[in-house]
């Protein structure tokens, strides 16, 4: 194995200890220093790995909360849609094209309003639930 020479300044007591240790183990000073450096890097790597695992666990918990929230939102949307469809009156065939056009126009207007609010950093969620949770009464609803 090719080796590169590195010069390091260490206290005389440490240099003496390294020489004595290498003599006791019947190894070169370079081998002892190399092993110490490798071991130091391995310990640091394990520490960094453990920290990374903790951060990944935190992210995983946050993702589970998001998934549960999305599932609740989808369930609410499905029930609201089923209810709206169950109470909506039947539409006569003659009026269907005109009402579909009006509904499409209204839907586009609602979507445009949502895009404008969200792109401006506003949302009902932030205004009513996030603001309330950071205030004195953090029960999930806006304070009156």
Per residue, the 3-state secondary structure of 1-36, as one string, reads: CCCCCCCCCCCHHHHHHHHHHHHHCCCCHHHHHHHH
pLDDT computed for residue 129 by the predictor: 76
pLDDT computed for residue 135 by the predictor: 59
Q: What is the pLDDT of residues 2-49, one digit of tens each?
A: 889 989 999 999 999 999 999 999 999 999 999 998 888 888 888 888
Q: What is the pLDDT of residues 39-94, one digit of tens each?
A: 888 888 888 888 888 899 999 999 999 999 999 999 999 999 999 988 988 889 99
Q: Which two tokens stand for residue 89?
A: 């009156």
Can you tell me the distance from the alpha carbon of 125 to that of 138, in angstroms, rounded to the nearest whole number?
A: 14
Residue 22, exposed/middle/buried by CB under 10 A (0-12, 13-18, 19+)?
Answer: middle
């Amino acid at each position: 194995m090719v080796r590169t020479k590195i010069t390091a300044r260490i206290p005389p007591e440490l240099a003496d200890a390294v020489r004595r240790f290498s003599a006791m183990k019947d190894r070169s000073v370079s081998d002892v220093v190399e092993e110490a450096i490798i071991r130091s890097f391995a310990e640091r790597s394990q520490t960094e790995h453990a920290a990374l695992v903790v951060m990944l666990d935190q992210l995983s918990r946050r993702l589970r909360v998001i998934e549960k929230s999305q599932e609740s939102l989808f369930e609410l949307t499905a029930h609201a849609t089923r209810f709206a469809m169950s109470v909506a009156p039947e539409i006569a065939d003659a009026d269907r094209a005109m009402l579909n056009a009006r509904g499409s126009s209204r839907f586009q207007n609602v979507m445009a309003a949502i895009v404008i609010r969200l792109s401006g950093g506003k949302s009902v969620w932030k205004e009513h639930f996030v603001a309330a949770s950071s205030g004195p009464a953090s029960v999930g609803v806006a304070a009156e």
